[in-house]
């Protein structure tokens, strides 16, 4: 291992852990694969991070709570908040806030760093997420999310702004997904193998020929699923620098107010608007809807006003 020869005093196991925690860059890009080859001319940067606590710490972070009882809590997560601690985000997460709010009632079945978590939202995706507050609730909710509503009452709907106008206006994307072999932080369409992924979409509004407001319903829940699927059919999400980088010129060609609103979004225009599930103890069907955050509302209003 290149680092083992150059970073004196650090064991191979410690170096491997540092790589997996995101503490090593190659040519300015974070790597998390300890076996990645190093070639002549590469610049390798190692940041020796201080040891992290074995368990997430409670942090008094305000939460927008849509519902709470002794079994579950439904939170309207803001864009920019990471769900659970991970490399580069050891504090300020939803889990840190939940530990402070729920105390000892939070379920630990999801793992030390993911107590109560049964599903996730991307850091820059806003909207509804349900968290279990007991082991029994965690098991029941996990079963519903594993089924993805095929036989149960689980429903998840997202609103998104995409570049261009999807055709047909109502459709399904069923391309399987896998981790991108060239960038482990991304997902990619699997040409062979991969995990089943199904996204149903419908165009709700169109803004000339440049953008559209769509609603997506998930049949599966893969990482970055909507973002990858919409990019796959040629309509990446507005503001998505990871999967829609090729559409940056479209944003640059917009009127200044629209361009500034997209930049102000600081991420993809995606909001988990609706969440419905069967309560793990009462069997009652609970359904919640969350209003768009202000930044997304302003952006949509500008698209409507301009009519592009």
How far are the Cα atoms of 12, 157, 288 from residue 140, in angstroms, in the given order? 41, 21, 18
Ramachandran assignment for 14, one of left (phi > 0), alpha (psi -120 to 50 degrees), beta (any other): alpha
- Give which of 208, 204, 203, 214 is closest to 238, Cα–Cα: 214
Q: Cα(40)–Cα(28) distance, rounded to whole angstroms? A: 15
Secondary structure (DSSP) of 139-191:
HHHHHHHHHTTSSS--EEEEEEEEES--SSSEEEE---EEE-SS-TTSEEE-S
13 DSSP 8-state letter: H
What are the structure tokens assigned to 81, written together? 């908040």
Q: What angle do CA 239, 80, 274 make, to 5 degrees?
A: 80
Q: Report the DSSP beta bridge partners of residue 217.
A: 157, 200
What is the chain's alpha carbon radius of gyration, rounded to the nearest angstrom? 21
**19 burial via Cβ count (<10 Å: 0-12, 13-18, 19+):** buried
Q: b/e per residue, 160-173, with b = 16+ CB within 10 A?
A: bbbbbbbeeeeeeb
Catalytic residues: 122
Q: Cα(278)–Cα(56) distance, rounded to whole angstroms? A: 29
């Amino acid at each position: 291992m290149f680092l083992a020869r150059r970073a004196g005093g650090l064991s191979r196991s410690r170096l491997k852990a540092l790589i997996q925690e995101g503490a090593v860059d190659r040519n300015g890009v974070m790597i998390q694969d300890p076996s990645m080859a190093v070639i002549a001319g590469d610049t390798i940067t190692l940041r020796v991070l201080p040891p992290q606590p074995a368990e997430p710490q409670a942090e008094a972070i305000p939460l927008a709570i849509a519902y709470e009882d002794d079994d579950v809590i439904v939170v309207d997560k803001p864009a920019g908040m990471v769900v659970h601690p991970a490399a580069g985000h050891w504090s300020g997460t939803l889990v840190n806030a939940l530990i402070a709010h729920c105390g000892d009632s939070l379920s630990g079945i999801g793992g030390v760093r993911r107590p109560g978590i049964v599903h996730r939202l991307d850091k820059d995706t806003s909207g509804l997420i349900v968290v279990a507050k007991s082991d029994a609730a965690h098991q029941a909710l996990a079963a519903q999310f594993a089924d993805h509503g095929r036989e149960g009452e689980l429903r998840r709907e997202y609103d998104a702004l995409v570049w261009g106008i999807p055709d047909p206006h109502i459709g399904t994307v069923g391309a399987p997904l896998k981790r991108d072999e060239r960038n482990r932080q991304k997902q990619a369409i699997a040409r062979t193998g991969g995990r089943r992924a199904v996204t149903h979409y419908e165009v709700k509004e169109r803004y000339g020929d440049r953008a559209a407001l769509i609603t997506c319903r998930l049949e599966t829940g893969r990482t970055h699923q909507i973002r990858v699927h919409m990019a796959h059919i040629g309509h990446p999400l507005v503001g998505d620098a990871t999967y829609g980088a090729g559409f940056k010129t479209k944003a640059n060609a917009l009127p200044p107010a629209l361009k500034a609103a997209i930049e102000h979004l600081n991420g993809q225009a995606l909001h988990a608007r609706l969440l419905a599930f069967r309560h793990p103890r009462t069997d009652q069907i609970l359904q919640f809807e969350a209003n768009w955050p202000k930044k997304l509302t302003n952006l949509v209003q500008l698209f409507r006003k301009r009519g592009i």
